[in-house]
Amino acid sequence: MSDLLERLRGRGWRMTSQRRVVAEVLDGEHVHLTADEVHVRAAAKLPEISRATVYNTLGELVSLGEVIEVSTDGRAKRYDPNAHRPHQHLVCSGCGAIRDVRPQGNPLSDLPAEERYGFTVEAVEVTYRGVCPSCSA
């Protein structure tokens, strides 16, 4: 995560305690927190941090390509720091848990030219839905 901070500083990001705390909260794999969860965890380290700042910071991290925004359920968006390792998501219909997974093959190539209708296709998101072990038990 410190390399993330370095990278951001290198891009002219002004380093504030708020931004540092948000970045720290987002560290790790299989992290898929909502903005509100990020706020709660950030506030545990830095009580004065505001919701607006958390939203701003998350938005910037997304624009910078350091974090991926995931909306699997039409409810709160989730923020996934695992942005530099292409992956898909496996979502539990029961509890909403999310796992990062790595399918085989490249789904982009599954969309033939005649199905592109003049679009410049840049990315593909794949969400597998199912029931996780604890929910099916």
Partner DNA sequence: TCTTGACTTGGACTCTGTCCATTGTAGGAT
Partner DNA sequence: ATCCTACAATGGACAGAGTCCAAGTCAAGA
Number of chain residues interacting with DNA (CB under 7 A) = 27
The listed partner (a second copy, DNA, none) that binds 35, CB under 5 to 8 Å by sort, is DNA
Q: Of 12 and 105, which CB lies nearer to a second copy in the complex structure?
A: 105
**Does 111 engage in binding with a second copy (CB under 8 A)?**
yes
Binding mask 5-44 for DNA (x = CB under 7 A): ----x---xxxxxxx--------------xxx--------
Q: CA dist 4 to 57, 111, 137, Å?
A: 14, 34, 39
Q: CA dist 82 to 3, 14, 21, 32, 93, Å?
A: 14, 23, 17, 9, 22
Structure tokens at 125: 């998101």
Number of chain residues interacting with a second copy (CB under 8 A) = 40
